[in-house]
């Protein structure tokens, strides 16, 4: 396999999680009697541009289908994050009724609803029919397509280039990162701005966040790799914000490479951080597998100990990261009987691979578990705040990454 950005041969293995089903391919009861597709889940790192990437097996059309079950608006903290961003960027860029905003992978309208409320013309690009329909119900115009250079050329021909292009947690989901970035360049007005948010590779390494690895994520980014990709498309990163979302993310601000805006000091700061953490050193990646396996064995010891002692255990959050964790550890309903999730699109279904049933959060009150294992650790504080008043002070909450610990 060659690097999907620069074409360099990939010779440095990073992580091998065996075989797993697509992490958002939740199963209906009838599906349990059918064969389930599993694909190798492996990461490599390119020692030319330092882009971390999955080995290619699954096509995007299979991963992001009409029944895609991830709805961004389920998380109150993510909605608040989106509101804060919209308020800030509208003021910073002086966006008004004469402006035009495009969000790539607009999901269920969690972000663009804020621009609609501010009466700023906008358009969502969203290929999954399930989430696009929800956004359209909010009055958000949506193009139900995958974004790339061809679609961006249509916008340019129609005179619909954007003052702002937003992409939150979509860059990693793109199999052809060069075509996607060329689309950003093509669809952006002169003087326009791009903001992309994505989990920071530095945090994945530091916090052993291997459960963020799944087939829907084709790439894992450092600023170093993003700058390499942007430069090849005629774009430039001129500012970077370090965020706490998704366990530690970057928000990069991009522009055309001839834009007069000077680089902010934040760019050099993150570059220096990545040099310090060894992002461009092979040995940084070669020890990661051992740390992942230690986290896996720690989870299994915890679950087996709970079973031996008769401790009542439940889980919260049927997130994709939870599926990666449970499938790599080989956890089944005998060790974890159910997972609660607030998304109606997941309730009544089963976790892919593990076949653990997904139920409504009201089941927690009925089951009265001793311990609740929160699988989406990135929103653990939100879950505890919601569930503690319902379950009472005696229940304990835990997460499994980077090791099992109580909150």
Q: How far apart are the first and last CA of the chain?
A: 41
Residue 279 lies in a domain: no
Report, in angstroms and rounded to the nearest whole number, the Rg of the chain calculated over CA atoms. Answer: 21
CATH code for the domain in which residue 329 is found: 3.40.50.720
Residue 328 lies in a domain: yes
> At residue 66, does pLDDT exceed 80?
no
Does 226 lie in the same domain as 80?
Answer: yes
Q: Per DSSP, what are the bridge partners of residue 396?
A: 371
Q: What is the mean pLDDT of residues 295-300?
A: 98
Per-residue model confidence as pLDDT tens digits over 339-348? 999 988 899 9
Does 354 lie in the same domain as 213?
Answer: no
Does 307 lie in the same domain as 213?
Answer: no
Question: Which percentage of the chain shows pLDDT scores above 90?
Answer: 88
> At residue 68, does pLDDT exceed 60?
no
Residue 238 lies in a domain: yes
Per-residue model confidence as pLDDT tens digits over 230-283? 999 999 999 999 999 988 999 999 999 999 999 999 999 999 999 999 999 999
Question: What was the pLDDT predicted at 57?
Answer: 60
Work out the mean pLDDT of the chain and round it to a whole number: 93
Question: What was the pLDDT predicted at 345?
Answer: 87
Does 254 lie in the same domain as 307?
Answer: no
Q: What is the mean pLDDT of residues 118-125?
A: 97
Residue 85 lies in a domain: yes
Question: Which percentage of the chain shows pLDDT scores above 70?
Answer: 96
Residue 150 lies in a domain: yes
Q: What is the mean pLDDT of residues 141-162?
A: 95
Residue 363 lies in a domain: yes
Does 299 lie in the same domain as 238?
Answer: no
Does 234 lie in the same domain as 312?
Answer: no
Grade residue 292 by pLDDT with cuts at 50, 70 and 90.
Answer: very high
Question: What was the pLDDT predicted at 77?
Answer: 84
Residue 23 lies in a domain: no
Q: Which residue has the tokens 């087996």?
A: 304
Residue 329 lies in a domain: yes
> At residue 61, does pLDDT exceed 70?
no
> At residue 393, does pLDDT exceed 70?
yes
CATH code for the domain in which residue 156 is found: 3.40.50.150
Grade residue 174 by pLDDT with cuts at 50, 70 and 90.
Answer: very high
> At residue 98, does pLDDT exceed 60?
yes
Question: Which pTM does this prediction carry?
Answer: 0.90
Q: Per DSSP, what are the bridge partners of residue 357?
A: 350
Q: Which two tokens stand for residue 66?
A: 């009409």
> At residue 63, does pLDDT exceed 60?
no
Does 323 lie in the same domain as 192?
Answer: no
Domain stop point among 215, 242, 261: 261
Domain stop point among 243, 261, 279: 261
* Backbone φ and ψ of 13, nearest 5°: -70, 145
Does 254 lie in the same domain as 110?
Answer: yes
Number of domains comprising the chain: 2
Q: What is the mean pLDDT of residues 51-75?
A: 67
Q: What is the mean pLDDT of residues 182-205?
A: 97
Does 253 lie in the same domain as 349?
Answer: no
Does 159 lie in the same domain as 84?
Answer: yes
Report CA 394 to chain centroid distance, whole Å: 33
Grade residue 62 by pLDDT with cuts at 50, 70 and 90.
Answer: low
> At residue 129, does pLDDT exceed 90?
no
Does 250 lie in the same domain as 336?
Answer: no
Range of the domain at 325: 288-406
Does 253 lie in the same domain as 125?
Answer: yes
Grade residue 33 by pLDDT with cuts at 50, 70 and 90.
Answer: very high
Report CA 276 to chain centroid distance, whole Å: 25
């Amino acid at each position: 396999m060659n690097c999907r950005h620069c074409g360099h041969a990939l010779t440095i293995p990073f992580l091998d999680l065996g075989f797993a089903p697509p992490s958002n391919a939740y199963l209906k009861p009838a599906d349990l009697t059918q064969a389930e597709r599993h694909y190798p889940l492996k990461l490599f790192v390119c020692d030319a541009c330092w882009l971390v990437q999955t080995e290619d097996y699954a096509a995007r059309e299979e991963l992001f289908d009409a029944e895609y079950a991830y709805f961004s608006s389920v998380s109150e903290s993510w909605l608040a994050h989106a509101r804060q961003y919209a308020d800030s960027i509208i003021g910073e860029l002086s966006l008004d009724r004469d402006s035009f905003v495009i969000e790539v992978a607009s999901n269920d309208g969690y972000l663009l609803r804020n621009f609609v409320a501010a009466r700023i013309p906008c358009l969502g690009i969203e290929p999954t029919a399930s989430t696009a329909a929800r956004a359209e119900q909010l009055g958000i115009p949506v193009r139900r397509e995958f974004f790339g250079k061809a679609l961006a050329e249509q916008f340019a021909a129609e005179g619909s280039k954007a003052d702002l292009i937003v992409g939150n947690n979509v860059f990693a989901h793109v199999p052809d990162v060069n075509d996607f970035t060329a689309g950003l360049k093509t669809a952006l007005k002169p003087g326009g701005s791009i903001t992309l948010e994505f989990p920071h590779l530095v945090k994945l390494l530091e916090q052993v966040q291997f459960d963020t690895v799944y087939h829907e994520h084709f790439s894992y980014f450092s600023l170093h790799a993003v700058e390499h990709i942007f430069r090849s498309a005629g774009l430039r990163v001129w500012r970077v914000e370090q965020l706490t979302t998704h366990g530690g993310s970057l928000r990069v601000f991009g522009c055309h490479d001839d834009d007069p805006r000077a680089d902010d000091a934040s760019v050099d700061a993150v570059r220096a951080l990545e040099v310090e953490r060894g992002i461009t050193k092979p040995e940084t990646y070669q020890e990661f597998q051992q740390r992942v396996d230690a986290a896996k064995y720690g989870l299994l010891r915890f679950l087996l100990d709970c079973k031996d002692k008769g401790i009542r255990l439940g889980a919260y959050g049927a997130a994709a990261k939870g599926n990666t964790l449970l499938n790599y550890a080989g956890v089944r309903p005998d060790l974890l009987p159910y997972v609660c999730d607030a998304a109606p699109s997941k309730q009544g279904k089963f976790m892919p691979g593990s076949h653990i049933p997904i139920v409504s959060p009201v089941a927690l009150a009925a089951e009265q578990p001793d311990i609740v294992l929160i699988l989406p650790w990135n929103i653990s504080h939100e879950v505890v705040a919601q569930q503690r008043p319902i379950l009472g002070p005696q229940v304990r909450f835990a997460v499994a990454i980077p090791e099992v610990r109580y909150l």
